[in-house]
Structure 1
């Protein structure tokens, strides 16, 4: 029995087919090969077309089928992972009304701050576990305030994965996990937040039917099945934001377990059974994939907007024609500390862990007679690792101190230099796994369709491929303090 996982990323769509008996990946495909564009109509804005995602999903599945490594008729369930916090709105005919306002868009910061004040800090943190901040609810409020003609036509509000499930099945559903990441969920009452809906003046009818993450969110339509060469009627049995899904793919399901990822954005994601909330909402708490009112499982998420996107920028700007392996090799030839070159990687919108401030990416200490492109490549990866350390220290302030962090050997964690910088900057060992979001989504589909007897069974054959332990933490600690001094100076001026 085979499972199909779809990962709707910011840069591309990744799809994988997994054998449920062995958890082996039979085939994976990505579309497009180059990275998808983000539209920025104004500074601080970030949008993508949901219809573009759908076209890319179709092309990725077509590539998967053309590989001929499996029989598509054997696929029995579909799971979807998706970029978090994006706003998708459709009318009664399920037509998209505007481009999605995605996760790194900063336009709704003040709207969320005003909501936090009006609802009350203590009430927001007790019930929502977060400030409304720059999340989906605030983005919907921005549309309501600034595009009333569009708002008046909205039939349903969705997150990106809900939209792809709708295109596959014709049905629109959500889950407590999805609604919590949009800051629509009241954890105290286990229901849609009356406080948020009342304050923003939303109609409850805008929100889809709420189902558990692991459940049938619809069944593949006949016409879509024929187009994709899949069997009609198979369930979409799992939908999750990319970070809870990344944690699932690494078997991070129980309190105290921690995952990390470093794609376009960077995340540390820990599981807790406590109603965790940071008083300043610098790290955020959402319902994890296995959360329920009977058994609390909350994902505590630290997000850095500018990680892989900065590394890509450095490669494009200073390493034209080079592969990522080549820039990593050049960076490794430079001594730790990049000869005094320091980079702040905050050039992709408002950063939650910096209080939703926009300070921009910055280069400090550059010497035209000393620094070459290799120094830039190293300073970029070290700067990203230091940003992870800064965020992890916030999590530590709030009582979450991991003894080990699990990560997929993907994106920046494919770089030995970055992995070593991350381990030494945070002083926490990292276990690497050959896994990614689309594989996690496929395994989630198997859990949701009850192909597996339990969540534990879904990961019976998943093994770590490498453990990296700190070996230069004091040296990186000294460098981090210098990097943090520069960051603190910038924050004082904002």
Structure 2
């Protein structure tokens, strides 16, 4: 028996088939191989085409089904997706505009106005966040700037809801999904009336609310025939990429913490308190295991400019080299990169910096001293420093991780980055074989009742590598120098 997981990422669509008995992937595929473009019509804007996501999803699944397993044995489908993106459709389920995705900054001012109008204390106590530039504020931007289009909207969705709609014809949402859009009132455990009224939204725009682990639709016959799957397979799980990453790392209980360093960088800790950061620099959403009885939340630190910064540096300074070769190059430079410092904040306004935008910066370049090795180590160190900066904010809010779990992927494939992350934060890291599409597949098994509970889906979960602090004393003064540079840039 197999499970299919779909990960709707910013750069590509990844899919995986997981064997229920081993809980391991038997086949994976990605489409396209090159990174999907982010459309930036104006500075600070970021859009992608939902229909392109759907085309790429189909191509990825068709590529997957040619890898030798029997696709007819797939029993459930799960979806993970880039968080906070806005998809709008009319009554015929036609997409009305490109999606305004997670790193788009255009709605920051509207979110700040809503924060003031609704009241800071009320927003933080009820929503656990400021409205910021999350999905609700993105929709407000559409209402204000594209009023005719807004009038034709029947339902709003997140990216994963859209893919589920294309697979099944059904449109649903969940409490975790609504919370990440800042549509959920945690205090009253219902739709956030204050946000809806402030922005002038009808509740009819919100899809049917279902448990996250439940059947959100069944695979349509025409789609099943095209993809070589059985009609009627349930879509039994939908989650934002970071809660899904936590699920895939078996981070389910209060006190457990996950991290990822892909296009963006995230530290995500599970809490049983409805807590909030007074400045909304880190954000709290309903975790995948959130229920009215056990209100487990995910405290999320997001840094826009991590893998995106590393990719930019690669393209500008060593486009011909692989990421593996870059990591080997970085390892040749000493701790501190001979004084070269990097601020990796060039991918939109950063929430942990109070929605300020410093741009990415290289500081202290010595034309007679620094070389490629120093550049790439400095970039990795700058990213690790940004994680430390954000983790300190989480510590201020009561999150005290004793170990952080991460997938052996993206920047954590670099020993320099992984060790620097541990040395700078002072927290050991456990690496696992982990993939968002695999996590989505396991989530589908939970939602379909194939696994008895979330813990039952991780009975074969094993650590493959462990990092402990080695160079804390060497890095602490270097980090403090970097922090002083950042604070100056923020003034």
Q: Give the TM-score category using the shorter length.
A: over 0.9
- 1:59 correspondence with 2:59: yes
Deviation at 1:477, TM superposition (A): 1.1
Match of 1:299 in 2: 298
Q: Which blocks of at least 5 consecutive residues in structure 1 are unaligned?
A: none
Q: 2:425 aligned with 1:432, yes or no?
A: no
Distance, in Å, in 2 between the alignment partners of 1:163 and 1:362 is 36
Q: How far apart in 1 are the matches of 2:60 and 2:411?
A: 23
| Correspondence 1:122-161 to 2 at 5 A | 122-161=121-160
Question: 1:181: how far off?
Answer: 0.2
C-alpha distance after superposition, 1:254-283 (max 9, x if no partner)? 000000000000000000000110000000
Give the match for residue 402 of structure 1: 401
* CA deviations over 1:361-390 (Å, ceiling 9, x no partner): 111000111111111111000000000000
2:301 match: secondary structure: strand
Q: Is 2:43 the partner of 1:38?
A: no
TM-score (normalizing by structure 2): 1.00
Map Cα deviations across residues 3-61 of structure 1 (whole Å, 9 max, x no partner).
00000000111100000111011001111111110000000000000001001101110
The TM-score, its normalising length taken from structure 1, stands at 0.99
> For residues 43-192 of structure 1, what are the structure 2 equivalents within 5 Å?
43-68=43-68, 70-192=69-191
Q: Matched residues in 2 for 1:346 and 1:240: separation? A: 26
1:11 is aligned to 11
CA distance in 2, matches of 1:134, 1:340: 35
Equivalent position of 1:262 in the other structure: 261
What's the secondary structure of 1:402's corresponding residue?
coil
Determine the C-alpha separation between the residues in 2 that align with 1:288 and 1:398: 17
Report the 3-state secondary structure (helix = DSSP H, G, I; strand = E; otherwise coil) of the residue aligned with 1:138.
helix
Q: Distance in 1 between matches of 2:225 and 2:420?
A: 48
Distance 1:414 1:217 in 2: 35
SS at match of 2:4: strand
- 1:411-432 Cα offsets, whole Å, 9 max, x none, are 1111111101111110100000
Match of 1:25 in 2: 25
CA distance in structure 2 between the partners assigned to 1:63 and 1:219 by the alignment: 22
Q: Provide the secondary structure at the position in 2 that maps to 1:133.
A: coil
* Range moving further from structure 2, 57-66 or 387-396: 57-66
**1:324: Cα distance to partner?**
0.4
Give 1:111 shift: 0.2
2: distance between equivalents of 1:243 and 1:32? 22
Consecutive unaligned residues in structure 2, runs of 5 or more = none
Correspondence list, 1:180-329, <5 A: 180-329=179-328
SS at match of 1:292: coil
CA deviations on 1:195-238 (whole Å, 9 max, x unpaired) are 00000000100000000110000000000001111100000000
Shift of 1:191: 1.1
Residue 474 (structure 1) shift: 1.2
Residues 69-119 of structure 1: per-residue CA shift (max 9 Å, x gap): x10000000000000000000001101000000000000000000000000
**How far 1:187 sits from its partner (Å)?**
0.5
Name the CA distance, whole Å, in 1 between partners of 2:92 and 2:122: 37
CA distance in structure 2 between the aligned counterparts of 1:415 and 1:213, rounded to whole angstroms:
34
Distance 1:223 1:362 in 2: 50
CA distance in 1, matches of 2:26, 2:466: 25
